[in-house]
Structure 1
Amino acid sequence: MTGFLAFLGLAAVVIVTPGPDTAVTIRNTLLGSRPGGVMTALGVASGQVIWALATSAGIVAILVASKPLFLALTYAGAAYLVFLGIQALRDAFGSSGVKAHIAQPINPSSRLRPLAAFRQGLVSDLGNPKMAIFFASLLPQFVPAGEASFFSFLLLGLIFSGMTFGWLTLYAVLVATAGDFLRRSAVRRWIEGLMGGLLVAFGIRIALEGR
Protein backbone atom coordinates (compact mmCIF):
# COMPACT_ATOMS: atom_id res chain seq x y z
CA MET A 1 0.00 0.00 0.00
CA THR A 2 2.84 2.40 0.83
CA GLY A 3 4.39 1.85 -2.59
CA PHE A 4 1.06 2.47 -4.30
CA LEU A 5 0.53 5.71 -2.39
CA ALA A 6 4.04 6.79 -3.34
CA PHE A 7 3.18 6.06 -6.97
CA LEU A 8 0.02 8.18 -6.73
CA GLY A 9 1.97 11.05 -5.20
CA LEU A 10 4.71 11.00 -7.80
CA ALA A 11 2.19 10.61 -10.62
CA ALA A 12 0.22 13.61 -9.34
CA VAL A 13 3.36 15.78 -9.30
CA VAL A 14 4.25 14.76 -12.85
CA ILE A 15 0.70 15.25 -14.15
CA VAL A 16 0.11 18.72 -12.68
CA THR A 17 3.45 20.00 -14.04
CA PRO A 18 2.54 21.95 -17.22
CA GLY A 19 3.88 20.52 -20.45
CA PRO A 20 2.99 20.15 -24.14
CA ASP A 21 -0.21 18.21 -23.39
CA THR A 22 -1.43 21.01 -21.12
CA ALA A 23 -0.71 23.67 -23.74
CA VAL A 24 -2.51 21.70 -26.46
CA THR A 25 -5.51 21.14 -24.19
CA ILE A 26 -5.85 24.83 -23.32
CA ARG A 27 -5.52 25.92 -26.95
CA ASN A 28 -8.02 23.34 -28.18
CA THR A 29 -10.49 24.37 -25.49
CA LEU A 30 -10.33 27.92 -26.82
CA LEU A 31 -10.83 26.66 -30.37
CA GLY A 32 -13.43 23.99 -29.67
CA SER A 33 -14.92 24.99 -26.31
CA ARG A 34 -15.41 22.28 -23.67
CA PRO A 35 -15.84 19.36 -26.12
CA GLY A 36 -12.58 20.29 -27.83
CA GLY A 37 -10.71 20.37 -24.53
CA VAL A 38 -12.23 17.16 -23.19
CA MET A 39 -11.52 15.29 -26.43
CA THR A 40 -7.94 16.55 -26.38
CA ALA A 41 -7.62 15.25 -22.81
CA LEU A 42 -9.06 11.93 -23.95
CA GLY A 43 -6.54 11.80 -26.80
CA VAL A 44 -3.65 12.46 -24.40
CA ALA A 45 -4.90 9.79 -21.99
CA SER A 46 -5.33 7.34 -24.88
CA GLY A 47 -1.74 7.97 -25.88
CA GLN A 48 -0.64 7.16 -22.36
CA VAL A 49 -2.67 3.94 -22.43
CA ILE A 50 -0.76 2.98 -25.58
CA TRP A 51 2.53 3.78 -23.82
CA ALA A 52 1.41 1.67 -20.86
CA LEU A 53 0.57 -1.26 -23.13
CA ALA A 54 3.90 -0.90 -24.94
CA THR A 55 5.78 -0.74 -21.64
CA SER A 56 3.98 -3.80 -20.28
CA ALA A 57 4.81 -5.74 -23.45
CA GLY A 58 8.48 -4.70 -23.38
CA ILE A 59 8.21 -2.69 -26.61
CA VAL A 60 9.22 0.58 -24.98
CA ALA A 61 12.45 -0.96 -23.69
CA ILE A 62 13.31 -1.95 -27.26
CA LEU A 63 12.42 1.52 -28.52
CA VAL A 64 14.58 3.28 -25.94
CA ALA A 65 17.47 0.88 -26.62
CA SER A 66 17.33 1.54 -30.38
CA LYS A 67 18.80 5.00 -30.88
CA PRO A 68 17.69 5.44 -34.53
CA LEU A 69 14.07 4.59 -33.70
CA PHE A 70 14.11 6.73 -30.59
CA LEU A 71 15.59 9.70 -32.46
CA ALA A 72 13.02 9.30 -35.24
CA LEU A 73 10.21 9.43 -32.67
CA THR A 74 11.86 12.38 -30.91
CA TYR A 75 12.21 14.51 -34.03
CA ALA A 76 8.76 13.60 -35.35
CA GLY A 77 7.15 14.56 -32.05
CA ALA A 78 9.18 17.76 -31.81
CA ALA A 79 8.25 18.73 -35.37
CA TYR A 80 4.56 18.19 -34.64
CA LEU A 81 4.67 20.42 -31.56
CA VAL A 82 6.49 23.13 -33.50
CA PHE A 83 3.88 22.83 -36.27
CA LEU A 84 1.03 23.28 -33.77
CA GLY A 85 2.88 26.19 -32.18
CA ILE A 86 3.46 27.98 -35.47
CA GLN A 87 -0.17 27.42 -36.36
CA ALA A 88 -1.22 29.03 -33.07
CA LEU A 89 1.16 31.97 -33.56
CA ARG A 90 -0.14 32.48 -37.08
CA ASP A 91 -3.73 32.46 -35.85
CA ALA A 92 -2.84 34.89 -33.07
CA PHE A 93 -0.72 37.43 -34.89
CA GLY A 94 -1.19 36.81 -38.62
CA SER A 95 -3.26 39.30 -40.57
CA SER A 96 -6.01 36.75 -41.17
CA GLY A 97 -5.92 35.76 -37.51
CA VAL A 98 -6.33 39.33 -36.33
CA LYS A 99 -9.31 39.82 -38.63
CA ALA A 100 -10.84 36.58 -37.43
CA HIS A 101 -10.56 37.72 -33.82
CA ILE A 102 -12.38 41.00 -34.32
CA ALA A 103 -15.73 39.31 -33.86
CA GLN A 104 -16.32 38.19 -30.30
CA PRO A 105 -18.02 34.82 -30.81
CA ILE A 106 -16.47 31.97 -32.77
CA ASN A 107 -18.40 30.81 -35.77
CA PRO A 108 -19.61 27.26 -34.94
CA SER A 109 -18.52 26.07 -38.38
CA SER A 110 -14.94 27.19 -37.66
CA ARG A 111 -14.69 25.49 -34.26
CA LEU A 112 -12.15 22.75 -33.80
CA ARG A 113 -13.94 19.46 -34.37
CA PRO A 114 -13.84 16.92 -31.50
CA LEU A 115 -12.17 14.26 -33.66
CA ALA A 116 -9.42 16.68 -34.67
CA ALA A 117 -8.94 17.66 -31.02
CA PHE A 118 -8.67 13.98 -30.03
CA ARG A 119 -6.11 13.37 -32.78
CA GLN A 120 -3.97 16.32 -31.71
CA GLY A 121 -3.99 15.16 -28.09
CA LEU A 122 -3.11 11.60 -29.12
CA VAL A 123 -0.26 12.60 -31.44
CA SER A 124 1.04 15.16 -28.94
CA ASP A 125 1.44 12.46 -26.30
CA LEU A 126 2.68 9.67 -28.56
CA GLY A 127 5.20 12.03 -30.12
CA ASN A 128 6.74 12.89 -26.76
CA PRO A 129 9.70 10.52 -26.20
CA LYS A 130 9.84 11.55 -22.56
CA MET A 131 6.70 9.50 -22.03
CA ALA A 132 8.53 6.40 -23.22
CA ILE A 133 11.40 7.02 -20.82
CA PHE A 134 9.01 7.97 -18.04
CA PHE A 135 6.90 4.84 -18.29
CA ALA A 136 9.92 2.59 -18.73
CA SER A 137 11.66 4.01 -15.66
CA LEU A 138 8.70 4.80 -13.39
CA LEU A 139 6.46 1.76 -13.52
CA PRO A 140 9.11 -0.87 -12.60
CA GLN A 141 9.93 1.04 -9.41
CA PHE A 142 6.44 0.46 -8.02
CA VAL A 143 5.98 -3.19 -8.99
CA PRO A 144 7.56 -5.69 -6.54
CA ALA A 145 10.20 -7.82 -8.26
CA GLY A 146 8.34 -11.03 -7.57
CA GLU A 147 5.03 -9.64 -8.80
CA ALA A 148 6.11 -8.05 -12.07
CA SER A 149 3.72 -8.98 -14.85
CA PHE A 150 2.03 -7.55 -17.91
CA PHE A 151 -1.14 -6.72 -15.97
CA SER A 152 0.60 -5.17 -12.96
CA PHE A 153 2.47 -2.75 -15.22
CA LEU A 154 -0.66 -2.08 -17.26
CA LEU A 155 -2.75 -1.35 -14.16
CA LEU A 156 -0.36 1.36 -12.99
CA GLY A 157 -0.28 2.83 -16.49
CA LEU A 158 -4.08 2.91 -16.67
CA ILE A 159 -4.27 4.65 -13.29
CA PHE A 160 -1.76 7.25 -14.47
CA SER A 161 -3.75 7.76 -17.68
CA GLY A 162 -7.00 8.17 -15.75
CA MET A 163 -5.43 10.76 -13.46
CA THR A 164 -4.11 12.65 -16.49
CA PHE A 165 -7.53 12.64 -18.14
CA GLY A 166 -9.16 13.98 -14.98
CA TRP A 167 -6.59 16.78 -14.58
CA LEU A 168 -6.68 17.92 -18.21
CA THR A 169 -10.47 17.74 -18.23
CA LEU A 170 -10.47 20.09 -15.24
CA TYR A 171 -8.32 22.48 -17.28
CA ALA A 172 -10.81 22.23 -20.15
CA VAL A 173 -13.81 22.90 -17.89
CA LEU A 174 -12.16 25.92 -16.26
CA VAL A 175 -11.07 27.43 -19.57
CA ALA A 176 -14.47 26.77 -21.14
CA THR A 177 -16.24 28.30 -18.13
CA ALA A 178 -14.27 31.50 -18.65
CA GLY A 179 -14.82 31.18 -22.39
CA ASP A 180 -16.64 34.46 -23.01
CA PHE A 181 -13.82 36.44 -21.42
CA LEU A 182 -11.00 34.37 -22.90
CA ARG A 183 -12.44 34.61 -26.41
CA ARG A 184 -12.33 38.39 -26.44
CA SER A 185 -10.17 39.53 -29.31
CA ALA A 186 -7.14 40.81 -27.40
CA VAL A 187 -7.26 38.15 -24.68
CA ARG A 188 -7.59 35.25 -27.07
CA ARG A 189 -4.77 36.51 -29.30
CA TRP A 190 -2.55 36.84 -26.23
CA ILE A 191 -3.37 33.32 -25.01
CA GLU A 192 -2.99 31.82 -28.49
CA GLY A 193 0.37 33.55 -28.82
CA LEU A 194 1.48 32.31 -25.41
CA MET A 195 0.39 28.72 -26.11
CA GLY A 196 1.98 28.87 -29.56
CA GLY A 197 5.27 30.09 -28.14
CA LEU A 198 5.22 27.38 -25.47
CA LEU A 199 4.51 24.64 -28.01
CA VAL A 200 7.39 25.80 -30.22
CA ALA A 201 9.66 25.97 -27.15
CA PHE A 202 8.59 22.49 -26.02
CA GLY A 203 9.24 21.12 -29.51
CA ILE A 204 12.70 22.66 -29.73
CA ARG A 205 13.60 21.45 -26.24
CA ILE A 206 12.52 17.90 -27.04
CA ALA A 207 14.55 17.94 -30.25
CA LEU A 208 17.67 19.26 -28.49
CA GLU A 209 17.36 16.78 -25.62
CA GLY A 210 17.09 13.92 -28.07
CA ARG A 211 20.45 14.60 -29.73
Structure 2
Amino acid sequence: MEYVPYLLTAYAIFMLAVLSPGPNFLAVTGTAMTVSRRAGLGLALGVGCGTLCWSSMTMLGLTAILAASADVALILRWAGGAYLVFLGYKSLRAALRRNRPVTETPANLIANPDRPFWRYIRRGLLVQAGNPKAALFWLSVMSIVLRPDAPAWVAVAIVVGTTTISFCWHLALAWFFSTPAVMRVYRRAQRTIEGVLGAMFIIFGGKLLAG
Protein backbone atom coordinates (compact mmCIF):
# COMPACT_ATOMS: atom_id res chain seq x y z
CA MET A 1 0.00 0.00 0.00
CA GLU A 2 2.90 2.39 0.50
CA TYR A 3 3.33 2.65 -3.27
CA VAL A 4 -0.31 3.45 -4.01
CA PRO A 5 0.22 7.26 -3.66
CA TYR A 6 2.98 7.08 -6.28
CA LEU A 7 0.72 5.21 -8.67
CA LEU A 8 -2.11 7.68 -8.13
CA THR A 9 0.31 10.56 -8.74
CA ALA A 10 1.47 9.01 -12.00
CA TYR A 11 -2.11 8.47 -13.15
CA ALA A 12 -3.12 12.01 -12.17
CA ILE A 13 -0.22 13.63 -14.03
CA PHE A 14 -0.86 11.50 -17.09
CA MET A 15 -4.56 12.34 -17.08
CA LEU A 16 -3.69 16.03 -16.99
CA ALA A 17 -1.42 15.50 -19.97
CA VAL A 18 -3.98 13.70 -22.10
CA LEU A 19 -6.69 16.21 -21.19
CA SER A 20 -4.49 19.07 -22.38
CA PRO A 21 -4.94 19.75 -26.13
CA GLY A 22 -1.78 18.74 -27.97
CA PRO A 23 -0.71 16.92 -31.16
CA ASN A 24 -2.53 13.71 -30.23
CA PHE A 25 -5.70 15.58 -29.26
CA LEU A 26 -5.71 17.61 -32.46
CA ALA A 27 -4.99 14.61 -34.67
CA VAL A 28 -7.72 12.40 -33.18
CA THR A 29 -10.44 15.04 -32.89
CA GLY A 30 -9.64 16.62 -36.23
CA THR A 31 -9.76 13.28 -38.02
CA ALA A 32 -12.98 12.24 -36.29
CA MET A 33 -14.68 15.49 -37.30
CA THR A 34 -13.39 15.87 -40.84
CA VAL A 35 -13.08 12.25 -42.01
CA SER A 36 -15.24 9.83 -40.03
CA ARG A 37 -15.72 8.21 -36.63
CA ARG A 38 -14.07 5.07 -37.98
CA ALA A 39 -10.94 6.98 -39.00
CA GLY A 40 -10.79 8.75 -35.65
CA LEU A 41 -11.06 5.47 -33.75
CA GLY A 42 -8.23 4.02 -35.80
CA LEU A 43 -6.03 6.99 -35.05
CA ALA A 44 -6.91 6.72 -31.35
CA LEU A 45 -5.82 3.08 -31.28
CA GLY A 46 -2.49 4.06 -32.83
CA VAL A 47 -1.93 6.77 -30.23
CA GLY A 48 -2.62 4.25 -27.47
CA CYS A 49 -0.05 1.86 -28.95
CA GLY A 50 2.46 4.72 -29.04
CA THR A 51 1.82 5.43 -25.37
CA LEU A 52 2.59 1.79 -24.54
CA CYS A 53 5.88 2.02 -26.45
CA TRP A 54 7.02 5.27 -24.78
CA SER A 55 6.08 4.21 -21.26
CA SER A 56 7.67 0.76 -21.58
CA MET A 57 10.94 2.06 -22.99
CA THR A 58 11.19 4.79 -20.36
CA MET A 59 10.41 2.36 -17.55
CA LEU A 60 13.08 -0.13 -18.63
CA GLY A 61 15.75 2.54 -19.00
CA LEU A 62 15.04 4.59 -15.89
CA THR A 63 14.68 1.64 -13.55
CA ALA A 64 18.35 0.79 -14.01
CA ILE A 65 19.48 4.42 -13.76
CA LEU A 66 17.55 5.21 -10.59
CA ALA A 67 18.81 2.07 -8.89
CA ALA A 68 22.40 2.97 -9.70
CA SER A 69 22.55 6.63 -8.63
CA ALA A 70 20.57 8.65 -6.09
CA ASP A 71 22.09 11.89 -7.45
CA VAL A 72 20.82 11.14 -10.95
CA ALA A 73 17.38 10.38 -9.50
CA LEU A 74 17.34 13.79 -7.78
CA ILE A 75 18.42 15.61 -10.95
CA LEU A 76 15.75 13.83 -12.98
CA ARG A 77 13.16 14.73 -10.36
CA TRP A 78 14.07 18.42 -10.64
CA ALA A 79 14.05 18.22 -14.43
CA GLY A 80 10.65 16.56 -14.35
CA GLY A 81 9.24 19.23 -12.06
CA ALA A 82 10.60 22.01 -14.26
CA TYR A 83 9.08 20.43 -17.34
CA LEU A 84 5.66 20.17 -15.71
CA VAL A 85 5.84 23.87 -14.80
CA PHE A 86 6.73 24.60 -18.43
CA LEU A 87 3.71 22.63 -19.63
CA GLY A 88 1.52 24.59 -17.23
CA TYR A 89 2.90 27.90 -18.52
CA LYS A 90 2.16 26.91 -22.12
CA SER A 91 -1.38 25.87 -21.25
CA LEU A 92 -2.07 29.13 -19.39
CA ARG A 93 -0.62 31.15 -22.25
CA ALA A 94 -2.84 29.27 -24.70
CA ALA A 95 -5.88 29.97 -22.52
CA LEU A 96 -5.19 33.72 -22.73
CA ARG A 97 -5.01 33.75 -26.51
CA ARG A 98 -8.17 34.68 -28.34
CA ASN A 99 -9.78 33.60 -31.58
CA ARG A 100 -7.78 30.38 -31.89
CA PRO A 101 -9.03 27.47 -33.98
CA VAL A 102 -9.83 24.47 -31.80
CA THR A 103 -8.55 21.89 -34.25
CA GLU A 104 -6.01 21.90 -37.01
CA THR A 105 -6.14 18.67 -38.99
CA PRO A 106 -3.09 17.92 -41.17
CA ALA A 107 -3.95 17.64 -44.83
CA ASN A 108 -2.48 14.16 -45.13
CA LEU A 109 -5.03 12.88 -42.59
CA ILE A 110 -8.03 13.91 -44.68
CA ALA A 111 -6.67 13.42 -48.19
CA ASN A 112 -8.14 9.91 -48.58
CA PRO A 113 -11.21 9.12 -46.43
CA ASP A 114 -11.37 5.57 -47.85
CA ARG A 115 -7.91 4.46 -46.73
CA PRO A 116 -7.75 1.14 -44.82
CA PHE A 117 -8.40 1.13 -41.09
CA TRP A 118 -4.90 -0.12 -40.24
CA ARG A 119 -3.37 2.91 -41.93
CA TYR A 120 -5.12 5.20 -39.48
CA ILE A 121 -3.74 3.07 -36.66
CA ARG A 122 -0.28 3.45 -38.15
CA ARG A 123 -0.78 7.20 -38.49
CA GLY A 124 -1.73 7.51 -34.82
CA LEU A 125 1.33 5.50 -33.80
CA LEU A 126 3.56 7.78 -35.86
CA VAL A 127 1.94 10.91 -34.40
CA GLN A 128 2.73 9.71 -30.88
CA ALA A 129 6.12 8.15 -31.62
CA GLY A 130 7.27 11.17 -33.60
CA ASN A 131 6.48 13.64 -30.83
CA PRO A 132 9.76 14.53 -29.05
CA LYS A 133 7.81 16.02 -26.13
CA ALA A 134 6.53 12.54 -25.32
CA ALA A 135 10.03 11.43 -24.36
CA LEU A 136 10.45 14.41 -22.02
CA PHE A 137 7.05 13.85 -20.50
CA TRP A 138 7.64 10.18 -19.75
CA LEU A 139 11.08 10.95 -18.39
CA SER A 140 9.52 13.43 -15.98
CA VAL A 141 6.69 11.14 -14.91
CA MET A 142 8.88 8.10 -14.29
CA SER A 143 11.58 10.07 -12.48
CA ILE A 144 8.94 11.59 -10.21
CA VAL A 145 7.00 8.50 -9.20
CA LEU A 146 9.41 5.58 -9.70
CA ARG A 147 11.44 5.24 -6.51
CA PRO A 148 14.78 3.35 -6.71
CA ASP A 149 13.61 0.79 -4.15
CA ALA A 150 10.20 0.24 -5.73
CA PRO A 151 9.37 -3.35 -6.74
CA ALA A 152 8.97 -4.22 -10.40
CA TRP A 153 5.18 -4.43 -10.18
CA VAL A 154 4.98 -0.67 -9.50
CA ALA A 155 6.58 0.18 -12.84
CA VAL A 156 4.40 -2.37 -14.61
CA ALA A 157 1.30 -0.89 -12.94
CA ILE A 158 2.29 2.58 -14.17
CA VAL A 159 2.69 1.33 -17.73
CA VAL A 160 -0.55 -0.68 -17.73
CA GLY A 161 -2.57 2.06 -16.04
CA THR A 162 -1.40 4.94 -18.21
CA THR A 163 -1.75 2.89 -21.38
CA THR A 164 -5.33 2.02 -20.42
CA ILE A 165 -6.07 5.69 -19.75
CA SER A 166 -4.60 6.63 -23.12
CA PHE A 167 -6.68 4.08 -25.04
CA CYS A 168 -9.91 4.97 -23.23
CA TRP A 169 -9.46 8.74 -23.51
CA HIS A 170 -8.48 8.90 -27.17
CA LEU A 171 -11.16 6.41 -28.22
CA ALA A 172 -13.69 8.54 -26.33
CA LEU A 173 -12.41 11.65 -28.11
CA ALA A 174 -12.85 10.02 -31.49
CA TRP A 175 -16.34 8.87 -30.60
CA PHE A 176 -17.65 12.10 -29.12
CA PHE A 177 -15.93 14.58 -31.44
CA SER A 178 -17.51 12.92 -34.44
CA THR A 179 -20.77 14.53 -33.25
CA PRO A 180 -21.19 18.29 -33.93
CA ALA A 181 -22.93 19.00 -30.61
CA VAL A 182 -19.88 18.03 -28.54
CA MET A 183 -17.62 20.22 -30.64
CA ARG A 184 -19.80 23.26 -30.02
CA VAL A 185 -19.67 22.70 -26.26
CA TYR A 186 -15.89 22.35 -26.29
CA ARG A 187 -15.46 25.56 -28.25
CA ARG A 188 -17.25 27.51 -25.52
CA ALA A 189 -15.28 25.93 -22.65
CA GLN A 190 -11.85 25.59 -24.26
CA ARG A 191 -10.13 28.53 -22.58
CA THR A 192 -11.42 27.58 -19.13
CA ILE A 193 -10.30 23.98 -19.55
CA GLU A 194 -6.81 24.99 -20.64
CA GLY A 195 -6.50 27.48 -17.78
CA VAL A 196 -7.43 24.89 -15.14
CA LEU A 197 -5.08 22.29 -16.62
CA GLY A 198 -2.23 24.80 -16.76
CA ALA A 199 -2.66 25.74 -13.10
CA MET A 200 -2.67 22.07 -12.04
CA PHE A 201 0.50 21.34 -14.01
CA ILE A 202 2.27 24.24 -12.29
CA ILE A 203 1.10 23.07 -8.86
CA PHE A 204 2.43 19.56 -9.48
CA GLY A 205 5.75 20.82 -10.83
CA GLY A 206 6.15 23.44 -8.11
CA LYS A 207 5.71 20.88 -5.35
CA LEU A 208 8.37 18.68 -6.90
CA LEU A 209 10.85 21.55 -7.20
CA ALA A 210 10.15 22.77 -3.68
CA GLY A 211 10.52 19.29 -2.22
Provide TM-score, normalisation by structure 2: 0.60
Aligned residue number for residue 122 of structure 1:
134
- Render the CA deviation track for 1:36-92: whole Å, top value 9, x for unaligned: 5444444444443244223431337443334xx5323321342134325544x36xx
Aligned residue number for residue 200 of structure 2:
202
Residues 1:132 and 2:139 are matched in the alignment: no
Give 1:96 deviation, angstroms: 4.3
Among residues 179, 189, 197, which one is paired with 2:177 in the alignment?
179
Residues 1:59 and 2:61 are matched in the alignment: no
CA distance change for structure 1 residues 169 and 76 in 2, over 3 Å: closer, same or farther? same
Q: CA–CA distance in 1 between the matches of 2:147 and 2:61?
A: 9
- Render the CA deviation track for 1:157-176: whole Å, top value 9, x for unaligned: 24531332123211211221
Q: How many residue pairs get matched?
A: 181
Indicate the percent of aligned positions where both proteins have the same amino acid. 10
Q: CA–CA distance in 2 between the matches of 1:132 and 1:54?
A: 11
Q: CA–CA distance in 1 between the matches of 2:5 and 2:204?
A: 22
Q: CA–CA distance in 1 between the matches of 2:140 and 2:158?
A: 16
Aligned residue number for residue 90 of structure 2:
83
Structure 2 unaligned regions, length at least 5: 32-39, 111-122
Amino acid at match of 1:172: H
| Structure 1 contact 78–207 (Cα < 8 Å) conserved | yes
Q: CA–CA distance in 2 between the matches of 1:183 and 1:117?
A: 27
| Structure 1 contact 43–121 (Cα < 8 Å) conserved | no
Q: CA–CA distance in 2 between the matches of 1:86 and 1:36?
A: 28
Specify the SS of the correspondent of 2:83.
Answer: helix
Structure 1 unaligned regions, length at least 5: 1-5, 144-152
Specify the SS of the correspondent of 1:133.
Answer: helix
Q: CA–CA distance in 1 between the matches of 2:50 and 2:202?
A: 22
| Structure 1 contact 52–157 (Cα < 8 Å) conserved | yes
Give 1:111 deviation, angstroms: 6.4
Provide TM-score, normalisation by structure 1: 0.60
CA distance change for structure 1 residues 206 and 43 in 2, over 3 Å: closer, same or farther? farther
- Render the CA deviation track for 1:100-144: whole Å, top value 9, x for unaligned: 78xxxx756286973444427724632535x3232116x72xx4x
| Structure 2 contact 90–198 (Cα < 8 Å) conserved | yes
CA distance change for structure 1 residues 21 and 42 in 2, over 3 Å: closer, same or farther? farther
| Structure 2 contact 77–140 (Cα < 8 Å) conserved | no
Q: CA–CA distance in 1 between the matches of 2:136 and 2:200?
A: 11
Q: CA RMSD in A?
A: 4.2
Aligned residue number for residue 164 of structure 1:
162
CA distance change for structure 1 residues 184 and 201 in 2, over 3 Å: closer, same or farther? same
Q: CA–CA distance in 2 between the matches of 1:73 and 1:22?
A: 17
| Structure 2 contact 10–145 (Cα < 8 Å) conserved | no
